[in-house]
Structure 1
Amino acid sequence: MGIQFLRGNPQAPKGHAIFIARSRSNSRVVYSTYCLVPPIPMSIAKYLPPLFAAQIPSEELQGAESIAGMPIPPMLEEGMSLEQLEILADRRDDDLCDIGTTSSEEVERMQMAATSSQEYAQLYADTISQASQISKQPAKTTLPEATPIEDLDAEGLLLQSMSERQKLAEVGKLVGMARYAVEGQDKAALQDTQQRIERLARLLPDKYRGSEIAKAAIAPDERGAKLAELYLSRAYKLIDEEYAEIPRIENAIRELKEE
């Protein structure tokens, strides 16, 4: 299956992620561990007891200067629900990754944690490498023409100055406009509103799921309107730190998606 990002961007992993895996025999059972990619290249092999080192493929134990992902704990453990892990990832701004299904066997859960951690670390290393290549590109010898003041994006500057609550309020207004355009089959207005929502969504932290709000806002069916409302409600609960209410909203979102 590989790593599926439930939160975060696979093209730009943060370097710290919560991994989840479901039991093959009971999908309600969720195992989890935390993967950390140290900012300083290292190999954890020489720090592992023989019991743990034996579970990691030999090729992954080589290269003392490689970027390695460390699963903490080193084995996928049961104990937290998916809803709890989602809230935790939001609060900590971690990536949240589904790494597939596993059994109750400890060796398999240990191997899966190690393998997935190295896969995640490789994604992180690729991102860092690409960023380094871009930064090393020679600077242009000619100065770019100055942008006239009248061409500056005044709306963009205004959006940047807004608080998170103000941005959410603006997203809520745009969702209403998008639903009105959907009902009236006004394609031009819908496209314009979609671009404005997506622009605002990019300015919000991932935990508010702005991209999901934007997607639901333009959905052609009534379910889209309900999903957008639920996502907005969830965002406001986060900003108000009413975390106890979030699992109920998450369940409603999941049930609506499964219809």
Structure 2
Amino acid sequence: MDLNFERGDANSPRGHALVYFRDTANPDTVSATYLILLPVSVDLQKYVPPFLAGQLPMGGEADLSAFAFPPAPEPVESYEFLVSVAEARGDDLIFAGSKPLADAANMMGVIGEILSEYGDRYRIGAPSSPALGESSGAATAVPGQPEFTVDDVMYAMMSEADQLGELTKLTGRLRFAAEGGDHDTAGEATAHMRAIAAHVADNRNIDLLIDAALDKTEVGGKLAQLYLERAYALYREDYLRVKALDEGIDRVRS
């Protein structure tokens, strides 16, 4: 990804940056977000209300060491304003190009990619420093510890209804990409679906949904639709419908 560091060193980022875009529909419009790479680990489970705790992934500490806020760029008064703020705060200032800023969902994905690259550059530029989110006494990553991105946080805070709605859109995108041989889009959609899968119950069988969506055959399309309907039926606690769908899945697979 092409990141133009107008302030700061691209090979040694500071760990906090203003990232701005211009709107392809109106180049005079400037929108921005703020990237932060935390020097300490944060256990999200300490701060999430109990009724949301179940939305966090199980099997490890919910650690957030890098994030962008707002998750999609918001309009700012001017480019000059960003320059003055970056200078006053000592921030990196990064121009990330012209984008269709009205597409908030797409821009959240773009921000996630930028955050990942910024974090990689930070780690490469400071090899003698502790890894991002680690204490000075633990300079190596803990095997199996989850790594969180902006998308992870967004999906964790969604209701299951919203998660299933997102899965429905991603399934359609994945089917279209798989049938058309668009490996990049298929890989991106698969990654988003796996990220959502980490925040829903295992019995939703999202892995099987992904496998079916990647299958270009008519059987794959039917199975993908059935797995989606099954996930919705489980969410609604319509167990008679779940039983009927399980039988339908068995018939299609036989």
Of Structure 1 and Structure 2, the greater helix share is in 1
The TM-score normalised by the length of structure 1 is 0.41
Larger Rg, first or second structure (1 or 2): 1
The TM-score normalised by the length of structure 2 is 0.42
